[in-house]
A and B are shown apart, each in its own frame.
Chain A
Amino acid sequence: NAGVTQTPKFRVLKTGQSMTLLCAQDMNHEYMYWYRQDPGMGLRLIHYSVGEGTTAKGEVPDGYNVSRLKKQNFLLGLESAAPSQTSVYFCASSPGDLGQENTGELFFGEGSRLTVL
């Protein structure tokens, strides 16, 4: 069971270049999230999705776009990369509505380390 898979794991970009991070989950989860993690700071939510075809902005959405065309995939795009976007990006998923069997626990991918020069 692969869980949540992110590609690529590492990437170096030059300022102004574009790229897409792919997240895939095989747990049939409704909710998917993109976070960034920077030293000395908590995880910050970039965008999230509560189901196929839906997306919403999180805490730090500027400079990023997302798409959820298929339930199992959640793509994060950087149209014009900036050095401030150097970070480790984590994708996560959760089953969806809270209930007796769902506490809202997130399942994370292994992370994608992005450096923008």
Chain B
Amino acid sequence: GQNIDQPTEMTATEGAIVQINCTYQTSGFNGLFWYQQHAGEAPTFLSYNVLDGLEEKGRFSSFLSRSKGYSYLLLKELQMKDSASYLCAVMDSNYQLIWGAGTKLIIKP
């Protein structure tokens, strides 16, 4: 079956760096997405990786290793507004998105 694994919850300190991991097993691969979802709100797009390596976008970076079925989202200079759930999703060979359950990130002052 298809599976996306990510930690349920993480805690970090304001100003610090946090890495959220995502491992996947899917039927084929057409890209990996990270979305941010604040409580009670809609998911919003953060990043897309289809080739191995690191994609940097401001304070957020996303890494992909297709051979390992692994990705991480790196958040730098954490701010209180970064408290949210972070959703990992993989597009399979049928171009369907398979979603992880999300990682709830708690930022403490």
Q: Hey, which bits of chain A sit against chain B, CB under 8 A?
A: 40-45, 58, 90, 98, 103-111
**Contact pick for B45, options A58, A106, A109, CB 8 Å:** A106
**Main SS class of interface, B:** loop
Interface residues in chain B, defined as those with a beta carbon under 8 Å from any beta carbon in chain A: 4, 8, 30-31, 33, 40-45, 48, 50, 87, 89, 91, 95-102
Tell me if A's interface is mostly helix, strand, loop or mixed. Answer: loop
Docked pose: A109 CA to B42 CA in angstroms: 6
Q: Is the CB of B100 within 8 A of A108?
A: no
Tell me if B91 and A42 are in contact (CB < 8 A).
no
* A42/B99 in contact, CB under 8 A: yes
Q: When chains A and B are docked, how far (Å) is the Cα of A42 from the Cα of B41?
A: 15
Distance in Å from the Cβ of B4 to the closest Cβ of chain A? 7
Q: Please, which residue of chain B has its CB at the minimum distance from the CB of A3?
A: B42
Q: Compute how far the CA of A111 lies from the CA of B96 in the bound complex, rounded to whole angstroms.
A: 20
Judge whether B41 and A110 touch: CB under 8 Å. Answer: yes
Q: Are B4 and A42 in contact (CB under 8 A)?
A: yes
The closest CB in chain B to the CB of A31 belongs to B95
B8: A residues at CB distance < 8 A: 40
Contact of A43 among B41, B45, B91, B99 (CB under 8 A): B99
- B100 and A42 within 8 A (CB): yes
A111 CA / B91 CA spacing, docked (Å):
22
Kindly report which residue of chain A lies nearest to residue B2, judged by CB atoms: A59
Q: Which residues of B contact A44 (CB under 8 A)?
A: 99
Pick 8 A–B contacts, CB within 8 A, sort by A: A40-B101, A42-B102, A44-B99, A103-B33, A103-B50, A104-B31, A104-B95, A110-B41
Closest to B50 in A: A103
Contact residues in B for A40 (Cβ distance below 8 Å): 8, 101
B48, A103: Cβ atoms closer than 8 Å: yes
